[in-house]
Structure 1
């Protein structure tokens, strides 16, 4: 069992790696069988699928998270994060509006599970319609 403080530390390190653009560090902080529940999409299972997702995101988007708040439930298994995404849309993502370097700011959150000191599940939630409106304006 992970303590609440340890869970918060793992989640904070995960998002610090995100902000540093350090995919290798993010991958080191997830379990081999990590479940990534994508906003408006199908779940991806495993570190390999998560690595593919990170590469795709890096190609299409440049994002930095601000105002990060991390919470953990008693027992340290369940955690949540709230943050503001500041991003730019670098390359057109299939099925979405054309990328022209548009910038956006979104409120977002994530629900995570921690096992053996690593993130074993992450589900990120944001308002896709708000993002589309911002990049289409």
Structure 2
């Protein structure tokens, strides 16, 4: 079940289907981004997705999905191909730059839903690609 849940999550991500992504989360989901503050709850995650979709267009490429035997934890590794659409805060100015990053993500599952999403990537690599 957990591998199928992750597959559904990344398929929704690649479609840009925030509603489908949110449907896979617990109400009190914890989101730990690679950079920035931890967010808690679906509303905070939805705000994050809105912001990201405004500033970036991204696709997950060739995800490798792993889950623990008991199904409480999972991980994913993938390439993230993207385009920087709109300047994001104090980051470099956006002008449609493209980038490609290796990303690692870690998950916790509760009652058939994703309860924690923790994403990690090399910010210095991204800055070098878009800067």
Tell me if TM exceeds 0.5: yes
Count of residues in correspondence between the two structures: 131
SS at match of 2:16: coil
SS at match of 1:53: helix
Which residues of 2 match residues 48-87 of structure 1 at below 5 A?
48-87=43-82
Residue 40 (structure 2) aligned to one of 42, 45, 48: 45
Deviations 1:59-91 (A, max 9, x none): 000000101110001210000001100000000
What residue ranges of structure 1 are gaps of 5+ in the alignment? Answer: 1-5
Which runs of structure 1 show a deviation greater than 6 angstroms over 4 or more consecutive aligned residues?
A: none
- TM-score of the pair, normalised by structure 2: 0.99
Distance 2:70 2:122 in 1: 30
- The equivalent of 1:92 in structure 2 is 87
Distance 1:89 1:58 in 2: 10
- TM-score of the pair, normalised by structure 1: 0.94
Which structure has more relative contact order (CA 8 Å, sep 6+)? It is: 1
Distance 2:92 2:68 in 1: 38
CA apart distance, 1:40: 1.7
What residue ranges of structure 2 are gaps of 5+ in the alignment? Answer: none
- The equivalent of 1:3 in structure 2 is none
RMSD, aligned CA: 0.5
